[in-house]
Amino acid sequence: MEALPKQIASVADQVQEWVWDELWGRQAPTNWPVCPRHPDSHPMKATAQGAAGVWACPNDDAVINATTAAERIGLRALIVDALDGKAAAFYARHGFKPFTGKPLRLFHRL
């Protein structure tokens, strides 16, 4: 099993792709999460750093904790609705856990 910081970073990466898709679909700017130092330039990049999963600026050492970013958008766990059992199994392999009695709705704590 991967170390937790790496897991958080890869989940954050996945969330970022989902958010990008969503923003792209709305024709909104896709630089999310916004870099605090270069807000008009680029998004932060999810990465494992020491004992934490963090969002980091790709250009300098600006770092915000991935959990903090998740709290900013009101998210403590990722919830997915899988289309079918095969998709649910895919999420389960990536650390998601099904809700009791709802095998196609899964969550991943951040």
Structure tokens at 17: 């792709």
The region of 2-10, 49-57, 67-75, 92-100 touching Zn ion under the rule CB under 5 A is 49-57
Structure tokens at 29: 């700017």
Residues 102, 110: Cα–Cα separation, whole Å? 20
Residues 56-75 that bind Zn ion (CB under 5 A): 57, 59
The reply on whether position 11 binds Zn ion by CB under 5 A is: no
Structure tokens at 62: 């600006």
Using the Cα atoms of residue 61, residue 30, residue 19 and residue 83 in order, give the sign of their dihedral.
negative
- The distance of closest approach from Cβ of residue 78 to Zn ion in the complex, given in angstroms and rounded to an integer, is 25
- The distance of closest approach from Cβ of residue 37 to Zn ion in the complex, given in angstroms and rounded to an integer, is 5
For the chain, what is the radius of gyration of the CA atoms?
15
Select the residue interacting with Zn ion from 13, 31, 32, 38 (CB under 5 A).
38
The reply on whether position 45 binds Zn ion by CB under 5 A is: no
Which residues pair with residue 47 across a beta bridge? 54
The region of 20-28, 55-63, 74-82, 96-104 touching Zn ion under the rule CB under 5 A is 55-63
* Chain positions contacting Zn ion, by CB under 5 A: 35, 37-38, 57, 59
